[in-house]
């Protein structure tokens, strides 16, 4: 991304950010609440239009070619985007149909630690189970660019380990990863690069988890 900026009203949530992540690399974005992490990821996901600058991926301007690139991008955000009255497997089946993808849904549920064949509607799920199902939705897409916004929220140690395992597997297939997190110790195993933000600006870029 080059000279990226995005404002809400008169406040610049992201201000003049320059950042390069190698294709297939992983970058951890840290910072306090309101530092711009989520806005940065939403711009990368083409959910928000930058007011200045651009983001390119594989030489393609993400916003200008958003209709083309959106099938290759997955965002795990605070909003889990679940269908409350459907079961976990029915949710995955719906997303698969909408995305035009084919996958072993039982295997996906097993990979995120959810019981296969359970028919309870998602509205009965705990916060951690919802988060696991949202992760399964991301895995279903097999994205080229994976954006994780606080991916360890509401997860127990087993769930956090499943996130690391699943994202590691995607990385082995060449997926590029950006992780916004308050718990850098968890994400350090995934990332070679760390960016720290304050008031919408990148104030430090370092290699590894330092």
All structural domains of the chain with their residue ranges: 2-207
Q: Record the pTM.
A: 0.93
Q: Nearest Cα to 170, choosing from 185, 151, 154, 197?
A: 151
Q: Are 3 and 55 in contact (CB under 8 A)?
A: no
Q: Are 141 and 113 in contact (CB under 8 A)?
A: no
Q: Are 4 and 14 in contact (CB under 8 A)?
A: yes
Strand, helix or coil for residue 28: strand
- pLDDT number for residue 91: 96
Distance, CA of 84 to CA of 60 (rounded, Å): 36
- pLDDT number for residue 208: 60
- pLDDT number for residue 210: 45
Both tokens of 132, joined, read: 């696991």
Q: Are 195 and 203 in contact (CB under 8 A)?
A: no
Q: Nearest Cα to 106, choosing from 81, 136, 132?
A: 136
Both tokens of 40, joined, read: 């940065």
CATH assignment of 2-207?
3.40.50.300
Q: pLDDT tens string for the chain (210 positions)?
A: 999 999 999 999 999 999 999 999 999 999 999 999 999 999 999 999 999 999 999 999 999 999 999 999 999 998 888 999 999 999 999 999 998 888 999 999 999 999 998 899 999 999 999 999 999 999 998 999 999 999 998 999 999 999 999 999 999 999 999 999 987 888 888 899 999 999 999 999 988 644
Distance, CA of 181 to CA of 114 (rounded, Å): 24
């Amino acid at each position: 991304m080059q000279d990226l900026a995005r404002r809400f009203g008169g406040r610049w949530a992201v201000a003049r950010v320059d950042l390069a992540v190698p294709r297939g690399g992983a970058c951890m974005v840290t910072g306090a609440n309101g530092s711009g992490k989520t806005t940065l990821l939403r711009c990368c996901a083409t959910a928000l239009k930058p007011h200045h600058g651009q983001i390119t991926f594989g030489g393609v301007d993400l916003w200008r070619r958003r209709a083309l690139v959106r099938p290759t991008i997955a965002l795990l955000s605070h909003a889990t985007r679940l269908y409350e009255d459907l079961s976990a497997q029915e949710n995955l089946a719906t997303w698969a149909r909408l995305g035009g993808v084919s996958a072993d849904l039982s295997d996906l549920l097993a990979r995120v630690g959810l019981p296969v064949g359970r028919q309870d509607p998602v509205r009965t799920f705990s916060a951690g189970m919802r988060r696991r199902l949202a992760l399964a939705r991301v895995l279903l897409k097999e994205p080229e660019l994976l954006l994780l916004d606080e991916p360890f929220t509401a997860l127990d140690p087993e769930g956090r380990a499943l996130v690391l395992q699943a994202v590691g597997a995607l990385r082995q297939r060449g997926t590029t990863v950006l992780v916004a997190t308050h718990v850098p110790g968890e994400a350090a195993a995934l990332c070679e690069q760390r960016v720290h933000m304050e008031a919408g600006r990148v104030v430090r870029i370092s290699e590894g988890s330092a």
